[in-house]
Amino acid sequence: MKSRLISGWVNNLPIGVKAFGGGAVLLISLLSIGALAIAAFGTVTFRLENFATSAIAKQTTQEELIDVVSAAHLDLFRYIAWASNGVNDLRLDKLRIQIAQEGEAAKVLAADLAKRDDLTSAESQAALMFAESWKKYVDAARETVDVGSVDPAMGTMLLGGSDDDFQRAATQLRRLTAAAHLQTRRIVDELLTHAARNGRAIEIGGVVALFACLGILFIFVRSIVIPVRSVTHAMRKISFGNLEFRPSSADSCRRDEIGQMVSAIVTFCGRMRDAKAVIERNEQELLSQNQRFDAALANMSQGLCMFDGDKRLIVSNARFAEIYGIDPEVMKPGTHFHDIELRRIDTGGYVGIDTEEYLGEHRDSTGERGSHVKVQQLKDGRSLAIYHRPMPGGGWLTTHDDITNIRRIEAQIAHMAHHDGLTDLPNRTLFAQTLDAAFEARSEHQQVAVFCLDIDRFKSVNDTLGHPTGDLLLKIASARLTDCVRATGTAARLSGDEFAIIVPAVRKREEMEALAERIVDAMAQPFDIEGHQICVSASVGIALSKSASGTAEELVRNADTALYRAKAEGRSVFRFFKSGMDAGLQRRRQLEMDLRLAIREGQMELHFQPIIDLASDRVVAFEALLRWTHPLHGPIPPSEFIPIAEDVGYIEPMGEWVIRQACLAAALWPDEIHVAINLSPLQFGKHDLVATVTGALADAGIAPSRIELEVTESVLLHDSDANLKTLQDLRDLGARIVMDDFGTGYASLSYLRSFPFDKIKIDRCFVKDVATNAESGAIVKAVIDLAASLGMTTTAEGVECPEQLDYLRSQGCSEAQGFLYSAARPAEELPALLARLTMETMRRRVGADREVSSIPASVTDRRWRADGA
């Protein structure tokens, strides 16, 4: 009962009084603890200062004395040892001076220690006894040093007496040090005892202060925090619409600020419940009246405005303001019609109208005009359908429908049906319609021209850079094409990289030639696309209509035929259609053009295939084989480009290049390895073949005997006398002459008799089935026997398996080459290839069960100049 009275009394106190009282109690508690701590700290400080100035200082002096005494005694021993070992006098003199200085320093420290007034009687007696003992030691040490400097042996004997004096002095010093340590320990124990006593006092004070704080905290929590939290929770619920606030009886009876707040909340909740009931009734009534109307306005796709008889706005929806870009604040009910119209004009609502004239026209007649509809074009390109309906009793209603997308889609559909989606050029449909119209409109003295063109090497652009880059190239090409045509005609994209042009009124052929030249030149300019500089070209085919006959389809076919002829004769050209044109052989024509640049741009290179002597299994030669890596098409087979080079006259410079490069390569090989070079029959048409070979040998610095010149049987078919003379001159030079592909052409014994060849090469078509086909085996055996009878060696081409090699060995074939040993390799790979073949030969010779770990010196000593040996 008594606690309740006290609690009620506390609750009725103002919050300020409670806060002040609690703060005062806390402050007194903290001040008490602080005073107690300050007193304890002062006592400890005083004792520590006394300890520092007395005990610690005394111990420091004693430690310095110990260090000096020990150093002096150690130096005495060092002096006698040095004197006994014959150390020079200069060092002994320095050490003697140092011993004397250390002895005097110990005397000074002992005197200072004895003078201290904080020594106990025991310490004073020990200090005096040490001083006396040390004096004796110093005298003995001086005598020992003097004697030891003259007679080290005698000094060593005196050292024992000095050590006894030192031990007596050290004993007194230890007594002195022990007394000092005992005093220090006593002072420390007193400090610890006093600190423990002060700590307990502070702990008791802290506990008392803690309980005081907890009591005050309990009063505050119970009297202020909990009621405030309850009121705050109630106000939060009220803010969310919960007006059912029921305070506790204790809170209702309080007379402090919290009680006043609770009373105000109760009153507020009552009034809010009443107001809420009224608002809910009104909202329900308004909702039932406007629900259908609001739904209709909100869901309309058209903008709506309703004006009264005074031309003031009654209602509008948001769609209206959105259509015209008007601030919704302008569309408030009561706004005059002309203010809204003026704002529509200011925002760019109308195209090509005078503001004052427009407003004057609508000032008096707007509400009186009957129902009507009009399409209004806005400045931003949109189209609106405006429906106007008058209302009974005055005023009117308008709806505004944005039909821009509808019209745009209709126009887009119409455009897409007749234009290419990528380049926006007319497509095949519009091209056909335009061409038909041009045919119908042509006059007697005019012709219709059709250009068909495509982009050369466009496929490689797609393959290497991707279709997005190809699409960009087509767009730029379309723009260039359109710029070339201008008003002359119509350009269209038919498909892929295929374009067409219609020129409807042609009077002169020269005009079309000029247009074609402009197109070819424009397409030949580099295309800069996403960091790539792409160089392509265009081939153009042109067809002109006949004045009185022919159809549009026929004209397009003729232009397409001319296009294929242009591509076959060399791309980046144009050709007019002529009767009998052939559109084939596109690749051959392209290769003819590309061969011009192949050697100059480094596309040609020599690969070398080893030729193995079957008796020794050693590499005796490498055959130089020409390889062409086309920048667009990759590797081109020699069987494809060599005939073209012969047809167009490129074989002579190409063959000269091969001879020179092969000789330069052979100059880097061991001297015993030959190089085999193929000669085309057309190279014999020039009278300087011998000079070419001679010059190549001189430039490379190799002997003529190291080259083998391979010719086919066709060399002897045409102008055989001149060719035989050239062969004889080459042989007289020292080169070896080889009959290549023997037995596949026109070979006969007469050819072998007409010129003494050094070697016959057996074609791969016979070697292929030599181990399985008796007929092929018989032919190979006959050739080997024939060559042997004529004193010629034989080389079998195309050896790919051990069975073929075994048969050739059994029949006495001299040499072999083929994939069994190696394919043709670049020059830089030949050292490694030669090492591998040598290692394999050695393994076969020593037996499969023995391991060959390295190449013998006999092989590595073979000079390979490419390595700088």
Per-residue pLDDT at 103 exceeds 50: yes
The pLDDT score that the predictor gives to residue 864 is 59
Instruction: List CB contacts of 741: < 8 A, sequence separation 6 or more.
Output: 712, 713, 761, 763
Range 844-847 contact pairs with CB under 8 angstroms and sequence separation of 24 or more: 844/617, 845/617
If you average pLDDT over residues 542-547, what whole number do you get?
Answer: 83
Burial (0-12, 13-18, 19+ Cβ within 10 Å), 824: middle
DSSP 3-state helix, strand, coil percentages of the chain (rounded to 5)? Answer: 60, 15, 25
Burial (0-12, 13-18, 19+ Cβ within 10 Å), 520: buried
Q: Does residue 465 contact residue 476 with C-beta atoms inside 8 Å?
A: no
Place of tokens 């085919």: 541
Q: Does residue 808 contact residue 614 with C-beta atoms inside 8 Å?
A: yes
Alpha carbon distance 491, 507 (integer Å): 19
Give how far the C-alpha of residue 258 lies from the chain's centroid of Cα atoms, to the nearest Å.
68
Place of tokens 């005598």: 143
pLDDT band for 568, please (50, 70, 90 cuts): low
Q: Is the pTM of this model over 0.85?
A: no
Q: At what angle do helices 152-220 and 121-150 cross, to 10 degrees?
A: 150
Tokens of 540: 């153009």
pLDDT band for 731, please (50, 70, 90 cuts): very high
Q: Residues 282, 284, 286, CA angle at the centre, nearest 5°? A: 70
The average confidence (pLDDT) of the chain is: 80
- Point out the least confidently predicted range of 46-60, 256-270, 688-702, 763-777: 46-60
Place of tokens 């042009």: 501
pLDDT in tens, 188-225: 777 778 777 777 777 787 777 777 777 777 766 666 66
- Point out the least confidently predicted range of 357-361, 366-370, 527-531: 357-361
pLDDT band for 584, please (50, 70, 90 cuts): very low
- DSSP string spanning 20-88? HHHHHHHHHHHHHHHHHHHHHHHHHHHHHHHHIIIIIHHHHHHHHHHHHHHHHHHHHHHHHHHHHTT--
Please give the single-letter amino acid code of residue 473. Answer: L
Per-residue pLDDT at 432 exceeds 90: yes
Name the residue with higher pLDDT: 379 or 418.
418
C-beta neighbour count of 782 within 10 angstroms: 13
The pLDDT score that the predictor gives to residue 583 is 43
The pLDDT score that the predictor gives to residue 867 is 45
Alpha carbon distance 193, 823 (integer Å): 102
Tokens of 183: 């005093």
Alpha carbon distance 663, 398 (integer Å): 97
Tokens of 231: 């009121």
Per-residue pLDDT at 697 exceeds 90: yes
The pLDDT score that the predictor gives to residue 245 is 66
Q: What are phi and psi of 815, to 5 degrees?
A: -140, 165
If you average pLDDT over residues 145-171, what whole number do you get?
Answer: 80
Q: At what angle do helices 152-220 and 57-84 cross, to 10 degrees?
A: 150
Alpha carbon distance 712, 451 (integer Å): 47
Q: Which stretch of DSSP H or E encloses residue 144? A: helix 121-150
Alpha carbon distance 748, 103 (integer Å): 127
Question: pLDDT above 90 covers what percent of the chain?
Answer: 25
Name the residue with higher pLDDT: 650 or 233.
650
The half-sphere exposure of 682 on its side-chain side, counting CA atoms within 13 A, is 15
Q: Does residue 738 contact residue 815 with C-beta atoms inside 8 Å?
A: no
Alpha carbon distance 311, 447 (integer Å): 67
Per-residue pLDDT at 861 exceeds 90: no
Q: Does residue 626 contact residue 645 with C-beta atoms inside 8 Å?
A: no
Instruction: List CB contacts of 75: < 8 A, sequence separation 6 or more.
Output: 95, 98, 99, 102
pLDDT in tens, 316-347: 888 888 888 888 788 888 888 888 888 877 77
pLDDT in tens, 79-88: 888 888 888 8
Instruction: List CB contacts of 683: < 8 A, sequence separation 6 or more.
Output: 651, 652, 655, 656, 689
For the chain, counts of helices (H) and of strands (E): 29, 22
pLDDT in tens, 598-616: 877 888 999 999 999 999 9
Name the residue with higher pLDDT: 694 or 343.
694
The pLDDT score that the predictor gives to residue 547 is 59
Q: Does residue 706 contact residue 675 with C-beta atoms inside 8 Å?
A: yes
Alpha carbon distance 346, 124 (integer Å): 114
The pLDDT score that the predictor gives to residue 12 is 63
Burial (0-12, 13-18, 19+ Cβ within 10 Å), 458: buried
Q: Does residue 495 contact residue 486 with C-beta atoms inside 8 Å?
A: no
Cross-strand partners of 503? 449
Per-residue pLDDT at 857 exceeds 50: no
Q: Residues 725, 795, 863, CA angle at the centre, nearest 5°? A: 90
Taking CA atoms, 842 is separated from 611, 839, 859, in Å, by: 17, 5, 11
Alpha carbon distance 199, 193 (integer Å): 10
Q: Residues 567, 568, 570, CA angle at the centre, nearest 5°? A: 65
Cross-strand partners of 376? 384
Please give the single-letter amino acid code of residue 574. Answer: F
